[in-house]
A and B are shown apart, each in its own frame.
Chain A
Amino acid sequence: SQQGEEDPQALSIQEGENATMNCSYKTSINNLQWYRQNSGRGLVHLILIRSNEREKHSGRLRVTLDTSKKSSSLLITASRAADTASYFCATDATAAGNKLTFGGGTRVLVKP
């Protein structure tokens, strides 16, 4: 079973709007990572947040982590058409043998 589950599965927004997607997981984690995948391409690492961190920023990206709720959110501010992609969370959990477990992803469409 998947450790991380993204919500929503798909998201359609206008350019300039913010996009928020969530990731829930089941077991305690060491860190959580977000990746982006353009259609038919490999994944690109966006940001890593450790279990003792609550929020991290990288450019227009903001990631939060709530270990009490076992959830994380990725916010993309002022979205651009180039942000159109699938976004995946991946968790590193000791219970999973210290391997990354990827969720099913959120497909984001940013309309110009």
Chain B
Amino acid sequence: SQTIHQWPATLVQPVGSPLSLECTVEGTSNPNLYWYRQAAGRGLQLLFYSVGIGQISSEVPQNLSASRPQDRQFILSSKKLLLSDSGFYLCAWSPGSPSTDTQYFGPGTRLTVL
């Protein structure tokens, strides 16, 4: 069966520090991968999605970047965090086209920037 992992679970970082969040998927090949951010009590905002290694689509201009160095690994990064980067970051995967299939979510990383 397929599983998705995210780490760390929680992170507290000072403004201006770098960020690296990792997401890995097991039990499937060539998944579509997604990074979402969720503000407190709000819906999900799609940040990046990837349909293959090295293929990244950015949805909104921001202080973040994403990379997919391996088929089942998706990394969210920042060189210098802003206060506004605080939130709950969710990684997800789907087996099919970017939208018509169910998406399976990881447990999330809660990031607090102080």
Residues of chain B with a CB closer than 8 A to A107's CB:
41
Which residues of chain B have a CB within 8 Å of any CB of chain A? 36, 41-46, 49, 59, 88, 90, 92, 97-100, 102-108, 110
Task: Say whether chain B's binding surface is mostly helix, strand, loop, or mixed.
Answer: loop
Instruction: State whether B97 touches A42 (Cβ < 8 A).
Output: no
List 26 A-B pairs, Cβ < 8 Å: A30-B99, A31-B99, A31-B100, A33-B102, A35-B105, A40-B88, A42-B90, A42-B105, A42-B106, A42-B107, A42-B108, A43-B92, A45-B102, A48-B102, A90-B103, A92-B100, A96-B99, A99-B59, A99-B99, A100-B46, A100-B98, A100-B99, A100-B103, A101-B46, A104-B43, A105-B42
Contact B100 A41 (CB under 8 A): no
A25 within 8 A of B: no
A82 neighbours in B (Cβ, 8 Å): none
Chain A contact residues (Cβ within 8 angstroms of B): what range?
20 to 34
